[in-house]
Amino acid sequence: MMDYIRRFDIQLDRECVYPGQFLGGHVILDNRENMKIRNIRATLRGKAHVEWKVMKSGERRTVKDDQYFLDDKIIVWGKDRTDESIPILPRGQHQFPFKFLLPDPANQPMACSFESRTGTIRYYVKVTIDIPYASPPQGIKYFTLVGPTIDCNEDKYMTPVIAQDIKVLCCLCCRKGPISLHCTLPRTAYCSGERLEFQAELNNQSNEAAQLRLQLYQYVEYFIDRGPLGVSKDVCHMVMQVFGSEVEPDSNWKSSLDSEPEKDKSKWIIPVVPPTLIGVCRLIQIYYVLKVCVVMKNSGEDLHMEFPLTIATKPARDKNTGIVPSISYEEAAEHVEGGMYISPEFQIGQVYDGTLGLSEGPDEVILYRPSYVKVGPDRQQQIASTSKGVNHSAHAHVNNNIIQEIPPFHRKA
């Protein structure tokens, strides 16, 4: 029967969808001859999966767990299996529309799409053609779900956080002058692509130079509910690092984003990372911490402070105009969890070897990578604006598209 099908494809109206929205699309089917088809079914599914190896009783075993967010089915053409009659699909090219309503985030918070070596959160539409007395052809189309809904404009995120500390350094019997640090974080939620707003005042009364250092860390925790206590795995990555100016002994230094030169403001921009994910998925938790410390030139680090930071999905309004900035969708940076790993099943033309910074050859095709909210234009628009007239088709990048047509080589969802 597959000889009669020239084309089988799934097209979605949008690649990035928010909870509470409709997910619509079409099933494209081009058949050479009239075919008996009981029905064409579309299944919407969202699933989190974690898996890794542990040592138990001297043996290396695999532990894994799953959590389902979505599982909905509709018939886009044909009849239910309870009906004994089998309709005939005439030859030609057909487009069958379908539409799913995603759950309201107020009633059911949804986790964001996520890809890592240890755990994944995937959303997809699977279409099955039920042909009597034959293996059913199946196709899968992955899409990005933008969640959970976190708005930077909420009062709890717009409240400034202030911290200060003072310390007197001692070296044996020699007492040095005090070092004091006063920090203010005007708000605690940011979207990727925004500039981190941070104010600091460093008073250095010691006898050596000091420098302020900011580091944003990503923490990802994986859980498996197995046994009385279960098992867990933690991963940490540095997202960004910013150094302030060197502060000489017996001097005072103040810093803020507004006081930075225009050429240095880019270092305060938060790279594209997955949003904060706490209390939504029982298998995967993602959170961020801003660590601030004073680095002494000779004796090392001192005066540590930490600020919890939330990566949101809705940006804050402009302080002057009140306008919400435009957003785009982009893959996560390759040095953070959620951006450094591409599953082998989504690659054509190379095999992933576990290294960072995948080299893209002329024959490489990436079938799917999740995207995340980013303030400002996306990477393709930036390339187009800075490199007009340059041909960037050296390699193909097909996002969010994986179709499996010929049984029995289809995967289990």
Note the pLDDT tens digit of each residue in 223-248: 998 766 678 999 999 999 998 888 89
**103 preceded by a cis bond (ω within 30 of 0):** no
- Residues with Cβ < 8 Å from 220, sequence gap 6 or more? 116, 234, 235, 236, 237, 284, 285, 286, 337, 338
Place of tokens 């880019």: 266
Least confident piece of the model among 120-134, 267-281, 347-361, 394-408: 394-408
pLDDT reported for residue 396: 36
> Is the separation of the CB atoms in 183 and 200 below 8 Å?
yes
Using a pLDDT cut of 90, give the percent of the chain over it: 58
Most confident of 1-10, 132-141, 278-287, 341-350: 278-287
Average pLDDT, the chain: 84
pLDDT reported for residue 399: 41
Mean pLDDT of 149-154: 95
The CATH class that applies to domain 2-145 reads mainly beta
pLDDT (tens digit, 9 = 90+) per residue, 31-85?
A: 999 999 999 999 999 999 999 998 877 788 889 999 999 999 999 999 887 777 8
Pairing of strands 189-190, 300-311: parallel
Lookup: tokens for 197: 């707003």
Q: Does domain 155-311 have CATH number 3.20.20.70?
A: no
Give me the residues paired with residue 110 across strands: none
- What confidence category does residue 138 fall into, taking pLDDT thresholds of 50, 70 and 90? very high
Least confident piece of the model among 81-85, 138-142, 191-195, 406-410: 406-410
Lookup: tokens for 50: 């974690």
pLDDT reported for residue 388: 45
Nearest partner of 239 among 176, 184, 195, 290, judged by Cα: 290
User: What strand order describes the sheet that includes 161-171?
Assistant: 161-171, 174-185, 199-204, 251-256
Cβ burial 268-289 (10 Å sphere, 16+ → b, else e): bbbbbbbbbbeebbebbbbbbe
Residues 69 and 217: their CA atoms lie apart, in Å, by: 28
Q: Is 223 exposed, middle or buried (0-12, 13-18, 19+ CB in 10 A)?
A: middle
Residues 15 and 370: their CA atoms lie apart, in Å, by: 9
Give the residue extent of every domain in the chain. 2-145, 155-311, 327-386
Domains 2-145 and 155-311 share a fold: yes
Q: Return the CA Rg of the chain.
A: 26
Place of tokens 């507004």: 258
Mean pLDDT of 252-266: 68
pLDDT (tens digit, 9 = 90+) per residue, 292-337?
A: 999 988 878 788 899 999 999 999 998 888 888 999 999 999 999 9
